[in-house]
Amino acid sequence: MDARGEPPKQLRVRSVGTKLSEAEYAQCERTAARRGLTLGEWCRQALLEAAEGPAQAPEVEAILGEILALRKITIIRSTT
């Protein structure tokens, strides 16, 4: 704890990099600006949110695939 009773901030010493097209980079810049964040802050936030999100179990993906297939069959049959 510091003098104000707050936990010390962790230093960020690691980095992650990627390559983007001009269009992708511009899209990221616009998104960050809409949220009032710098591009780096937005990228960090998006990456950490994605890492914390729940990963779908393989059986969930299989069930979703079955549901989508049945939906497609239903649509095809209703149009013929």
Domain-located, residue 33 = yes
Domain-located, residue 28 = yes
Domain-located, residue 50 = yes
Total number of domains in the chain? 1
5-30 mean pLDDT: 89
**Residue 28 vs residues 22, 31, 53: alpha-carbon distances, Å:** 10, 5, 20
> By residue range, what is the domain housing residue 40?
22-79
Judged by DSSP in three states, 63 sits in helix
Residue 34: what pLDDT? 97
pLDDT digits 0-9 by tens, 39-67: 999 999 999 988 887 777 788 888 999 99
- Model's pTM, two decimal places? 0.56
Domain-located, residue 4 = no
